[in-house]
Amino acid sequence: MRKLALPDDILLRIEKPARYIGGEINSVMKDRDRIDIRFCMCFPDVYEVGMSHLGIQILYDMFNRREDTWCERVYSPWMDLDPILRERDIPLFALESQDPVRDFDFLGITLQYEMCYTNILQILDLSHIPLYAAERGENDPIVIGGGPCSYNPEPIADFFDFFYIGEGETVYGQVLDAYLENRKCGGTRADYLARVAEIEGMYVPSFYETAYREDGTIASFVPVHPAAKPVIRKQVEMSLSDTFYPEKPIVPFLRPIQDRVVLEIQRGCIRGCRFCQAGMLYRPIRARDIGFLKERAKKMIENTGQDEITLSSLSSSDYKELPELVYYLIDEFDRQKVNISLPSLRIDAFALDVMSKVQDIRKSSLTFAPEAGSQRMRNVINKGLSEENILRGASDAFRSGWNKVKLYFMLGLPTEREEDIREIAELSDRIAGVYYSLPKEERSGKVQIVTSTSFFVPKPFTPFQWAAMSTEEEFLAKQRIVSARLKELPNARSIRYNWHDADVSVMEGIFARGDRRLSRSIHDAYRAGCVYDAWTDYFKYDVWKEVFRKNGVDPGFYTSRERGVDEIFPWDFIDAGVTKEFLRREYQKGIQEVVTPNCRKACAGCGANVFHGGVCYEERKEDAE
């Protein structure tokens, strides 16, 4: 039986000790004496959040298939354990072996959102690993970053030895082989990084130097090491039906945020919404074979005992064989009482039929993401959802018995005017109106509409990467326009309005398009007590503002500044497939309110065809929906 890293008196003093004991069903134990590489995967947030992430499950399974490698996991200790670890000087440990993380060969950290950056430093600090990569020695683990935020790794570049840019299935084998090879030759840490830099998709930040102009923008970004490539091409797994995907995902004892089996049906998106980073980063869209999915779904349910399966993709309705897959799953799992959840589904006849089979209509709600209130604004962002679609979908759903609707919008989109903002309230009201226009016998009680707005944060590798983001004051003014307009409308009492915090959005904006000069501030904020910034209760905006001031960082430089056409972005060294020319073209079309058809209708020439597959090589149809 394993011996736990934490003594009983600590485990009995903290909340949810099961976060730190490992030993979950399908977690992997190996004999540490017969292993060459010890890899620790980290999701820098609390266990229940981290355990809900599919990416780590895929990589965990992939690494552990290698006989010479043992992959384990670590998550952020919660705020009750953090001070105890410091006081008692207990180094942070991996869940499986309970061994200190600092004794591992690798620490791989997934970067899912900007607000986890201080948690990365907490993990390193509690592991007794030097925070800055430059200060690490031969015995410290190699710290790797990956995931969506590594498409602009510059704000946290100083803390990582290297970044894996793109999808993990492709070249991790080479990364590990190079490590063994380097060790065999008696190579140093620096020698290994030089080897890594030769592998496609690997970015070693210490091998590059940035020079700045007087106005603060980048003058040049150049390799200063012979092994460093000027451009790093993102990694893409082109054969999604013949690659790593866990048959035995780990089943936590504690209830995670996503307490279900996840079936990723496709990667990428054909829609080309101009605000959406995932839609651009994961191009081209690649679907998994339906046979592969059916088989994996069955195996994962058998091996986990989970009672729910969710289909995951950016836009499930664009999976061509969705009806066949969904009806198969309903058939297969109905008797076993396995629930099926279908997020990101376009509301149409098929969706309503399926949802009436898999959900309790009286309890569940329908979700629409128009993202913008007016048609003009939706054309700017290229969101191909017309008001007619929304109202017809809502009307059909109401007639089928639903009476709860969730609506998602963004405030602060480029070119936004006051009337666009008011339209958010008005569209919500019109949807409620559709309900009350039904004959009374077709309604079931009152309609409940929840309208939510988030603040738009421009992201790298989107057409809006040049755009100015609204300031905190502007955001709050916009949100007040929605609130005020809602109150004037006839169905105001059926509509609840939620909005996001503006201060967190501003922080996200700074990091999303930030550069290397921010590392110092992130470090200082962490030292000043910032951690778990993604959690409202722990987010200390005042501390962050003070740290920026002391370091001479002007947040507005990163957020509310419209970038020039020729500006060199911190992330320009990454080749994500989509070209800067395409993104610029899309930005201009957006401002002119011109819509770009989806990838199945017509090729927009984004550049993702360099990966030789996916939708880029399918036959196109003018009438594709």
Q: Which residues bind another protein (CB under 8 A)?
A: 1-2, 4, 7-9, 11-13, 16-18, 21-25, 251, 253-255, 301-307, 336-337, 360, 363
Residue 478 CB partners (closer than 8 Å, separation 6+):
411, 412, 416, 421, 470
CB of 14 to another protein, least distance (A): 10
509 near 559, Cβ under 8 Å?
Answer: yes
Q: Is the Cβ of residue 246 or residue 370 nearer to another protein in the bound state?
A: 246
**261/411 with CB nearer another protein:** 261
- 148 or 249, CB closer to another protein? 249
Closer residue to another protein (CB): 331 or 360:
360
* Whether the Cβ atoms of residue 163 and residue 233 lie closer than 8 Å to each other: no
Report d(CA 268, CA 279) in Å as an integer: 6
Q: What angle do CA 130, 133, 138 make, to 5 degrees?
A: 75
Residue type, 596: T
215, containing H or E segment: none
Least gap, CB of 305 to another protein (angstroms): 3
Q: Please, what is the minimum distance in Å from the beta carbon of residue 424 to another protein? A: 33
CB 471 within 8 A of CB 559: yes
Look up residue 316 and give its DSSP letter.
G
CB of 463 to another protein, least distance (A): 44
- Identity of the residue, 51 or 314, whose beta carbon is nearer to another protein in the bound complex: 51
Helices marked H in 213-321: 277-281, 290-304
Query: Which regions of 198-243 does DSSP assign to beta strands (E)?
Result: 202-203, 208-212, 218-223, 232-233
Smallest gap from residue 95 Cβ to another protein (A): 10
66 close to 55: Cβ distance less than 8 angstroms: no
Best CA proximity match to 475, nearest among 427, 508, 518, 515: 508
d(CA 182, CA 180): 5
Q: CB of 306: closest distance to another protein in angstroms?
A: 7
Between strands 162-164 and 202-203, the pairing is antiparallel
| Residue among 74 and 407 whose Cβ is closer to another protein | 74
Nearer to another protein by Cβ, of 254 and 278: the residue is: 254
Nearer to another protein by C-beta: 25 or 603?
A: 25
3-class DSSP state for residue 345? coil
Q: Between vectors from CA 466 to CA 464 and to CA 468, what angle results, nearest 5°?
A: 85
| Closest distance to another protein from the beta carbon of 360 (Å) | 4
Q: What minimum distance in Å lies between the beta carbon of 401 and another protein?
A: 13
Minimum Å gap between C-beta 21 and another protein is 4
Q: Do residues 147 and 117 make contact, with C-beta atoms less than 8 angstroms apart?
A: no
213 by Cβ neighbours in 10 Å (0-12 / 13-18 / 19+) ranks as exposed
Q: Specify the residue, 262 or 381, whose C-beta has the smaller distance to another protein.
A: 262
